[in-house]
């Protein structure tokens, strides 16, 4: 009986030591989790404070930007603007005044208004059909051939947001027109564009 009691006592002691060890480890782990949660909460608060400060700073800076009421009032100068009539910040200021007006065409239509008169098509909205139509307009009517139109369409083709099927053909024609203002092969250009499939 003594031997059984002694073994039972050893088992109880080992069990007690194991339970104490587990309790201590659990307590330490729980404290680490609590500390981690506090750090995460503090970082979240700091991030939110930083975002609010950044927003207030941006709001404070924006009034410094001179509001431009009419993009058409800008004089187009291809060498200084690269096809844009105003800066990103000026376009954003106009967009923020009336976002519903520009929601379909974004700030690009403010920075570089469509010189062909299609207000709902910005440079990112040029498809194969639109590119062909604009090229044929310039081919058919010499008055339609302006530096602004050539530059605008060349930029639209180069960014190619609609996976243009004939991008290289458009780019070659527009590049020639843009660099040398060379319309000497206008008849061949017309045939090339009219024969494009799709």
- Whether the pTM exceeds 0.75: the reply is no
Any domain includes 84? yes
Nearest-5° Cα angle at 113, 112 to 119 = 145
Q: What domain range includes position 68? A: 56-113
**Predicted pLDDT of residue 53:** 66
Whether 189 and 133 share a structural domain: yes
Any domain includes 178? yes
Whether 98 and 63 share a structural domain: yes
Which of 113, 129, 145 is the C-terminal boundary of a domain? 113
Any domain includes 95? yes
Tokens (6 digits) for 161? 């947001």
Which of 48, 81, 113 is the C-terminal boundary of a domain? 113
Which of 96, 113, 130 is the C-terminal boundary of a domain? 113
Q: pLDDT (tens digit, 9 = 90+) per residue, 121-145?
A: 999 999 999 999 999 999 999 999 9
- Residue 123 near residue 155 (C-beta atoms within 8 A): yes
Any domain includes 18? no
Whether 65 and 134 share a structural domain: no
Whether 102 and 125 share a structural domain: no
The CA distances from residue 32 to 19, 25, 28, 46, 150, in Å, are 20, 11, 6, 21, 65
Any domain includes 138? yes
Whether 102 and 127 share a structural domain: no
Any domain includes 82? yes
Whether 137 and 191 share a structural domain: yes
Any domain includes 51? no
**Predicted pLDDT of residue 63:** 44
Total domain count, the chain:
2
Any domain includes 127? yes
Helix, strand, or coil (residue 67): coil
Tokens (6 digits) for 96? 């923020």
Tokens (6 digits) for 52? 């609010």
Q: pLDDT (tens digit, 9 = 90+) per residue, 64-73?
A: 444 444 544 4
**Predicted pLDDT of residue 60:** 54
With a cut of 50, which residues of the chain have pLDDT below it? 62-69, 71-75, 78-79
**Predicted pLDDT of residue 82:** 56
Whether 91 and 130 share a structural domain: no
Whether 161 and 104 share a structural domain: no
Whether 134 and 81 share a structural domain: no
Whether 92 and 146 share a structural domain: no
Q: Which one, of 153, 143, 197, lies nearest residue 176 by Cα?
A: 153
Whether 106 and 129 share a structural domain: no
Whether 136 and 71 share a structural domain: no
């Amino acid at each position: 009986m003594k031997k059984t009691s002694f073994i039972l006592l050893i088992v109880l002691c080992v069990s007690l030591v194991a339970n104490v060890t587990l309790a201590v480890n659990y307590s330490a782990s729980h404290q680490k989790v609590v500390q981690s949660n506090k750090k995460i909460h503090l970082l979240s608060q700091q991030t939110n404070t930083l975002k609010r400060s950044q927003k207030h700073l941006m709001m404070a800076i924006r009034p410094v930007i001179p509001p431009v009421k009419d993009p058409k009032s800008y004089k187009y100068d291809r060498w200084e603007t690269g096809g844009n009539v105003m800066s990103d910040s000026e376009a954003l200021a106009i967009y923020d005044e009336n976002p519903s007006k520009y929601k379909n065409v974004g700030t690009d239509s403010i920075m570089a208004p469509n010189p062909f008169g299609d207000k709902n098509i910005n440079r990112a909205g040029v498809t194969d059909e639109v590119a062909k139509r604009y090229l044929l307009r310039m081919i058919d009517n010499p008055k339609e051939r302006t530096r602004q139109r050539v530059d605008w369409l060349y930029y639209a083709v180069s960014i190619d947001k609609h996976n243009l099927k004939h991008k290289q053909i458009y780019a070659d024609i527009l590049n020639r027109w843009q660099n040398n203002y060379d319309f000497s092969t206008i008849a061949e250009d017309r045939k090339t564009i009219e024969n494009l499939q799709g």
